[in-house]
Every structure is written in structure tokens, then in C-alpha cells.
A and B are shown apart, each in its own frame.
Chain A
Amino acid sequence: MFGRLTKDAFIHDMAQNGAVAGMILGAIALIALISYLGRWKWLWREWITTVDPKRIGIMYIVVVLIMFAKGFADAVMMRMQQCVSVGDSFGFLTAEHFQEVFSAHGTTMIFFVAMGVVFGLMNLIVPLQIGARDVAYPFLNALGFWLFAAGGFLTLVSLAVGKFSIAGWLAYPPLSGLEYCPGEGIDYWIWSVQIAGVGSTLSGINFLVTILKMRCPGMTWMKMPIFIWSALCTNILVIFAFPILTATLALLTLDRYLGMHFFTAGGGGNPMMYINLIWAWGHPEVYIIMLPAFGIFSEVVPTFSEKRLFGYVSMVWALVIITVLSYIVWLHHFFTMGASPGVNTFFAITTMLIAIPTGVKLFNWLFTKFRGRVHFASPMLWFFAFVLNFSVAGMTGILLSAPPVDYQVHNSLFLIAHFHGMAIGGVLFGFFAGFTYWFPKFTGFHLDEKLNTYAFWCWFLGFLVAFMPLYMLGFMGATRRLDHYDVASWQSVFISAAVGVLIIFIGASIQLFGLFWSIKNRDKLRSGRDPWNGRTLEWSIPSPPPEYNFAIVPTVDQIDPLWATKRGQGPEQKKEYEDIHMPLNTPAGFFIGAISLIFGFAITWHIYWLAILAFVGIITCLIIRLSGKEVHGNITAEEVQRIEEAATT
């Protein structure tokens, strides 16, 4: 009746019990708050059934913040454990628990923080910057979000019920196969990632078609903002890469559920096949999370330098080259798997080549500042931190791309320091820059600048203190994922890294506090529609934007269209209000997401009757949704005029 779910699944150690209790109490508190404020109908109408990408983008960010808290807690636990678990001491986490923690950390941060940031920002910014009122497939977009949320929630459920994977964020077989990990952990991982991955693919298709087909009149390819170019390239990467992940996870699932032999040690299986396939997805994936960060900087730097982005054409080419090359570098993730030197050299060279356009982008940003008028508001602080931290990480990337060097440092803490430099120095700082930059647009008020600045210093310093020692540890022969080690001299280095994480923790806490502080003081922090003297279309509409974004669809004729208007250039705009048709809300996305969560849980625990029921439920919802007549809501021209005139900002 309950598959392999037993009472034992609910028993955990003290620390985990505490985390679960905290989670449940938090959920109860939230439900109580919403009930107290009488906001259930509002929540359902305005948020859960919405197909408005602006709302969906905000929901993405909310889920990201929750998942980031979990992933960060995992990181703190790892650092604390490695501070003390040396020699005769084995720390406070068992080996198995530690392995669950780092697997959860990686999975959460990549799939549910980084990907959430990417699609959240695309939802918020893409329609606005291309002068569109909506995305191409509003329902599909909402569905993509709810599948993403379902995957994330499944990992949270794994904290309370049973155990999570112990095989790392990519679950290499044969370790992740039935023989070595028969339990529910790997299955939790598979289904969380699989469900979220389908959501990502759908969202990718949506945004690709949005950018291709819904740009406002006059916005040709070479007049799009660079953020849109980076979103375009990101979505192309998503479309070509995520199906590989879907297929590979399906093959691992078949191995585990039907006893197949794709990646088993015996039966003719080939674990190396999994590694090739998963990294054929995995490398484009890291560019999927990186390119939007680059796009954000390409918006932030020109705005705060009061100067157009230097080398627009070059930047576009850099993005395109990165996109194309990212498909032929994947083997650099496993130079040490024993390929011939010819194969290793080929992939080494392609990897080095991909660093060139990245460097080009850096120089173009710097020269945007050249002869500009640079303002050091928070977004620019994050750009500054990015340049300094990301360059080091990029440099170590080139070191890693030389196979003989990689033969030494592969899977050591040197590698960890490298990719965290890319992920934190690049992706996260890019997200922070974008968050502080666009926050006023969607809320109508700023985030407190002083608190932002303190947070910046904590992250900038904290990152260096947390990760520079790891390069040294790698050189000392420390491999990754160790829950215990026997070399006494490493301990002081681990302690330094833990101090760094503590500094980061202070920074993240300041950011969280700052968010609530700014909400509380929002009247003092009002921003208006164009607080940063912006250059692109999103700054021409009220903050927060009305449901339809643009009352009158803009016409553009050059890059940075708002800047052109401010300088008295720019084409004639249409003057008359028209009726606007917007898609109606639908609960289908939420229902399918919720049922997917049930499906993921059921199939993880082998509760097959429930899984089949859930699957049928999903198909039914889809059929119902896709069989109806396509209806839209109508906002009359008079209504539009009324809204526009009422928006004082």
C-alpha cells in the first residue's frame, strides 16, 4: 500500500529533526499568517493561477530564496564538519549524512537556485525589454514554473521523509545504480531533477519563441539589448541540452526500476556512457546559468556608466561563439577517465578557446566604463566584485583545461574553488546585481543602499576567505567530498575557509534583513519609474508595471531606445490607446505541478498505484486544459487610459 515507505523514514538525527521541525513550523506560520490576513482568495487569484510572467518571475525568486537558504545551510554544515573531523575525531555528521548534505547542496544550488534565477529573471525582464506585453506561451510558462517548484519541494520533502542521494549532484553510476544504492535517496534526486528539467525545457521553448516572434516593431536582431541576446543564447542551450538530461536520467531510472543494464558494472553496462551523456548536458548547463549573468552586467554597466555598451557586435559574437563551443568541451570534466591523449587534447583546446570570448566580454565591459560617468550604486559594486573574483576563477579554469595539470587537481578542492568562483563570483554576483538593479522596477521602491553595501563587502571578502584556501588545500592533496581526513596540517586551512563562510553568512543575513527593512521603509525609498536613468524600454513604464506592460507598443530604431528618446532621437511612437487582450488565469499549471510532486514522491517510494493515479491525473489536466476554447480577457482602451493616468510614477 505504501510501497517501501515505512515509519523508519521519518526518523532522523537531532540536527535533521530540528531542520524538519523548522520547515514545518515555518509552513504552519505562513498558513496562519495568510489565514489571519484573509488572503487566500487573493493568493489564488493573483499568484497561484497567474500567467503573468512578472508574477511568475517573482514566484521564481521566492522559491530561489527558500532553496538558497537550504543550500547555504548545507554549505555551513559541510564547512563546520570539515573543521573538526580530522585524525581521531569524526565530527558531528556521520559519513552518510555528510554525503547527503553535499549532494543536496549541489543539487539545490544548481537546479533550484541558479536555474530559478535564470528563468525568474527571464520572466521578469525579457518581455519588458523587447517591448512585448506577454510571453509566447503564457500557460506553458506557468507550467514550467510549477514543475520547477515541484522538483524543489520534492527535495525539501526528502529532508523530512527518508534520505536523499549520497552520490553527489550528478549521481555517477555504478554508485548511483541499484547495486550500491538501492534506497530511495537516488530516486529522490532523479525525480526532483527530472521534473524540474522538464519544466526548464518547456520554459526554454517559451522564451525562445518569445524573443524570436514578439519583439516590438523596429527591434531587429542587432538592436536587441544584450540581456535579450544572452537570454536567446541561454534558451538555445536549454533546448539542445536538457533533452539529453531527460534521456540520461530516464536511462538511470530504467536501470533502477526495471533492472536494465545501461550503467551497471555487469550485464554489459557502461558507466562511462553516463558520464559522457550527463556532461554533454552538464557543460551547456553551466553556460545556461552563466550567460544571463553576463547579460545582466551588459545592462548594468552601461546604465551606471551613462554610456552605451562598448563593442555591441563583438559582445553578440562572443555570446554566439560561447553557445556553439559549449557543446564540444564536455570531456574536460573527466580528463582522468583514461581517454587517449588525442581525445584529451582536442577537448583541452576547445575548452581554452571558449575562454577567449569570455575575456573579450570582460574587456568590453571595462571599456564601457572608459570615458563614461561611472556611478557606484549597488549593482556596480556587484560588477566590481564579479570582475575581481570571476577572473581568478576563469584563470584557474584554463589551468584545469590542461590535461596534465588536471590529472593532479581533478576532483580536488582546487576544482571546488574554481567552480565556486564561477558560480558565486559570476552567477550569484550577477544575480545580486540584477536583483538590486531591477527591484525598484517591480516594487516601486529601492532596496536600502547602505545595507546593500555592507552585504557586498561581506560577500566580496567572505568569498575570498572561504575559497582561496581551497586552492591551497587542493595543492596539498585534499580531494573533494571528504567527511573526514587524516592530515593534521589541513585543519587550519579548513578553519580559515569556515571563517569565510561565516562572513558570507553575515552578508546573506544582511541581505535578508535588508529586504524586509526596505519593505518596511518603502515609502521613504520610493523610486519612480526610472530611478537609475535607464537606457532600455523597461524603464519607460510605471513601477510596478501594469498588467499589460506597455499601454502603447513602442517602436524603436536603435540600441538603448530609451536613451535615444531622452536625447531627442528615436522614431515616432504610436499615440492611441487600443483595447488590450490578455490571457486569463488558469489553475492548470498549479494542479499539474502539485500532482507531479505527488507523482515524484509516489514513484520514489515505489507506491505504484499512487504514481499511476498521479500520472493519469497529469494527463487529464493537460487534456482538459488543451481542449478548451482559447479565451482572453479584454482591457478596453478607456480602461488603459485610466490606468496610465492614475500611475503617477
Chain B
Amino acid sequence: MKMSKHPLFYFLLFALLIIIFVLIMQPLSILHFGKSIVMLFPGGEVALKERNLLFIIQALMLIVIVPVYVLTFIFSWIYNANNPKGNYDPDLVDNVTAEYIWWGVPLVMTGIIAALTWHYTYEMDPFKPLPSDKKPLTIQVVALQWKWLFIYPEEKIATVNFIQIPKDRPIHFEITADAPMNSFWIPSLGSQIYAMPKMKTELFLIADQEGDFRGCSANISGEGFSGMTFTTRASTDEAYNKWIETAQKAKNGFTLAEYNKLVAPSSYNPVAIYRLEDPTLFHYVLMKYMEPS
């Protein structure tokens, strides 16, 4: 029987040191990167709830994982073939109590996590409006190749790769695509949801603080996919209203002709602001693939 010539002690020690190193890097990197880790320091309530659920499930899972780690090290040490102190019992092949414990405890924990998940999945349904006394702001989103088109149907403006929203007010996104499948994602604010041609998905998000939040597409849609980033600026109501006024006086009008120009593939598009001259454009995009042209 071939045996490792390395003393087991150093082996376990090095392994433990590596584990500890990895563990320490977590809080260290959180300290170092701070608010860059947008999911841990979210800018909106939806993202906050999602983060908290993650923490709770993580904590519950540690109840299973930590014993596994501890037992791995302990058993490796005590029952090492070279250790005379370890009891050798070659016929210990089953133990009903032990089986009950490791079938039962994970089952109970799964039950708890499942209950939590059930509750939160319904609560955080992207299609479900957020509870608020303010009327939601509707923004229509069209994923194109390879930029994001935003239409504010009530304010009558359209933008490319940029939106400004008032903080503390729910935003109702209606999302579709005139491109391969994309995923509309603003990590600071919360959930992503797929943007698909012919389909309208919806998402409700809300910003709790002011700032510029990075948004992107989270599903590959072709060559220029990496350039599909957009900025979400959450500001005070006054700043938002001022921005709307300026946008409504924009030089360029957004019409079907302008839309068709935009549909042509292009990447890393700069921010563009338009007056919305054709309020039925979103509907047009939705219906584009529904019937023969």
C-alpha cells in the first residue's frame, strides 16, 4: 500500500492555512472595495431585500457546511493510519441515528429555506408593483443591438443608454427587445429580467439614495454585448423634473424613422436624449414580430 511520505500534520496545516487565507480575503476585500460591491451595499429596497435573503440562507447553510469542514479535518487527523490512538472498527458500516440526523437536519433546514423562499419569491415577483403612496413612473425599455432604448411614455421623451429617475418613487419598467435575448439588470437596485422580442416583461425597482447606478445586459446578444451598459441616475424630485424639462426641449425628435436607424447594429453608443414624437413606438416594437409585415 503506497503511502504519502509527508507528515499528515503539515498537510492539514497547509490546507487549513489556505482555507483561512481564503476566508480572510472576504472581509478584507469587502473593506477594500466597499461600495463597489453594489450587491452588498445596494441603492434600492429591492436589492436590499434580496441581499438580506442571501445572508439568511447563507447563515443557515453554514450550519451544515461548518461541521463538514470540521469533521473532515478531525477525522483525517484522528483516524489516520499512522495514528495508534484512533479506534479501528472495520465493521462499523451503518448507524440509523446518524442517518436520521443527516437526512433530517438538512430536510428541516430545506423546509425553512423553502418557506422563506416561497414568501420572498411571491413578494419580490418582478411583475408585482411595489407598495408605495407614490404613483410609479413608467419607463419602457427596448433592448437593441447593442444599446438600451428607454421611452418615457407620459413625459414624452426617449433616451439611449441613460435614464434619470426620482428617488423614493417606484419605477415601473416595461421591457422588450428588438434583438436576441438580453437581460435588463441594474445590480444596485435589484432584480434582472430577460428582455425578449415579442414578449413584454415587467420590473418594479426603487432607488433609496441619489447616485449614478450602472446597468447592463446580463445575457449575451452578439458581438457588441459588452458595450450595452447604461447609467441610471437617481436624483431628487426637483433635479429629475428639471432634467425632464430639458429633455422635452431636446433637438432630436424620436420617430419611427429614427427608431429604424437605431435598430441597425452599433455598439458603445453614447448617451442620446430625444423628444418622443411617436408615443406608440413601444407597442410597435412589441407587435413587430407578432404578425407578418
Q: Closest chain B residue to A409 by CB distance?
A: B39
Q: Judge whether A377 and B4 touch: CB under 8 Å.
A: yes
A393-407 vs B, CB cutoff 8 Å, 1 = contact: the mask equals 001001101111101
Q: Provide the bound-state CA to CA distance between A637 and B81, in Å.
A: 43
> Bound state CA distance, A310 and B96, in angstroms?
11
Interface string of B1-19 (1 = CB under 8 A from A): 1111110100100110011
A166 at the interface (CB under 8 A from B): yes
- 0/1 per residue, B64-80, Cβ < 8 Å to A? 11001101100110011
* Chain B residues whose CB sits within 8 angstroms of the CB of A375 once the complex forms: 1, 3-4, 81
CB-contact partner of B36 in A366, A374, A381, A487, under 8 A: A487
User: Could you tell me if A377 and B61 are in contact, using CB atoms closer than 8 angstroms?
Assistant: no
Interface residues on A, range: 35 or more
- Counting CB contacts under 8 A, is A510 at the interface? no
Residues of A close to B86: CB separation below 8 A: 371, 373
CB distance from A455 to the nearest CB of B (A): 13
Nearest-neighbour CB distance to chain B for A77, whole angstroms, equals: 16
Q: Is A372 interfacial (CB 8 A cutoff)? A: yes
Cross-interface CB contact of A402 among B38, B40, B95, B120, cutoff 8 Å: B120
Check A172 against B180 for contact (C-beta < 8 Å): yes
* B255 part of interface (Cβ distance < 8 Å): no
- Contact yes or no, B113 A402, CB < 8 A: yes
Q: Is A551 an interface residue (CB 8 A)?
A: no
Q: A266-B289, A366-B72, A482-B226 are in contact. Are A305 and B79 (CB under 8 A)?
A: yes
B269 adjacent to chain A (CB < 8 Å): no
Give the residues from 191 to 205 in chain B that come closer than 8 angstroms, CB to CB, to chain A. 191-194, 196-199, 201
Question: What are the interface flags for B93-129 relative to A under an 8 Å C-beta threshold, 1 for contact and 0 otherwise?
Answer: 1110011001100110010011011101111111110
Interface of A is mostly: helix
A408 touches B113 (CB 8 A): no
Within 8 A of A (CB), among B203-231: 214, 216-227, 229
Question: Are the C-beta atoms of A340 and B76 separated by less than 8 Å?
Answer: no
Given contacts A309-B93, A449-B4, A533-B1, contact A487 B64 (CB under 8 A): no
Q: Which residues of B contact A166 (CB under 8 A)?
A: 222-223
Chain B minimum-CB-distance residue to A310: B93
| Minimal Cβ-Cβ distance residue in B for A174 | B180
A371-B87 in contact given A305-B79, A359-B106 (Cβ < 8 Å): yes
| Contact call B110/A453, Cβ cutoff below 8 A | no
- A341 close to B125 (CB less than 8 A): yes
Q: Is B185 a contact of A479 with CB atoms below 8 Å?
A: yes
Please determine whether A531 and B113 come into contact, CB atoms closer than 8 angstroms: no
In the assembled complex, the CB of B60 is this many whole angstroms from the nearest CB of chain A, namely 9
Q: Interface stretch among B50-58, B131-139, B148-156, B274-282?
A: B50-58
State whether A395 and B50 are in contact (beta carbons under 8 Å apart), knowing that A172-B180, A484-B226 are contacts in the complex: no
| Smallest beta-carbon distance B55→chain A, Å | 10
Indicate if the CB atoms of A408 and B68 lie closer than 8 Å: no
Contacts of B214 in A (CB 8 A): 477, 487
* Interface status of A64 (Cβ within 8 A of chain B): no
Contacts of A305 in B (CB 8 A): 79
User: Quick one: CB contact mask for A208-235 with B, threshold 8 Å, 1 for yes?
Assistant: 0000000000000000000000000000
Is the C-beta of B130 less than 8 angstroms from some C-beta in chain A? Answer: no
Residues of chain B in range 225-242 having any CB-CB distance to chain A below 8 Å: 225-227, 229
Query: Is B190 interfacial (CB 8 A cutoff)?
Result: yes
| A265 at interface by CB-CB < 8 Å | yes
With both chains docked as a complex, state the minimum distance between the C-beta of A634 and any C-beta of chain B, in angstroms.
Answer: 39
Docked complex Cα distance between A523 and B217 (Å) = 58
Q: Is A424 an interface residue (CB 8 A)?
A: no
Cα distance A490–B226 in the bound complex, in angstroms:
14
Minimum distance in angstroms from B181 CB to a CB of chain A: 6
Q: Is the CB of B190 within 8 A of A531?
A: no
- Decide yes or no whether B37 CB sits under 8 A from chain A: yes
B226→A475 contact, CB < 8 A: no
Docked-complex contact B38 and A477, CB < 8 angstroms = yes
Per-residue contact bits, chain B 256-276, to A (CB 8 Å; 1 contact, 0 not):
000000000001000000000
Contact of A311 among B8, B94, B122, B221 (CB under 8 A): B94
Say whether, besides A338-B193, A404-B53, A359 and B64 are in contact (CB < 8 Å): yes
Q: Separation in Å of the A459 CB from the closest CB of chain B? A: 12
Q: Which 8 A-B pairs have the closest CB atoms?
A: A477-B187, A407-B191, A175-B180, A265-B197, A371-B89, A363-B102, A404-B124, A373-B81
Residues of A within 8 A of B (CB): 95-96, 99, 166-168, 172-175, 180-181, 265-266, 271-272, 305-314, 334, 336-338, 340-341, 344-345, 348-349, 352-353, 355-356, 359-360, 362-364, 366-367, 369-378, 381, 384, 387-388, 391-392, 395, 398-399, 401-405, 407-412, 446, 449, 453, 457, 460-461, 464, 468-469, 472, 474-477, 479-487, 489-490, 493, 531-533
On B, residues with C-beta under 8 Å from A are 1-6, 8, 11, 14-15, 18-19, 22, 25-26, 29, 33, 36-40, 47, 49-51, 53-54, 57-58, 61-62, 64-65, 68-69, 71-72, 75-76, 79-81, 86-95, 98-99, 102-103, 106-107, 110, 113-114, 116-118, 120-128, 180-181, 183, 185, 187-188, 190-194, 196-199, 201, 214, 216-227, 229, 267, 288-289, 292
Could you show 19 A-B contacts with beta carbons less than 8 Å apart?
A168-B220, A271-B197, A309-B93, A311-B94, A336-B193, A359-B106, A367-B95, A388-B19, A395-B65, A402-B53, A402-B120, A412-B218, A453-B4, A453-B6, A477-B39, A479-B183, A479-B218, A480-B218, A481-B220
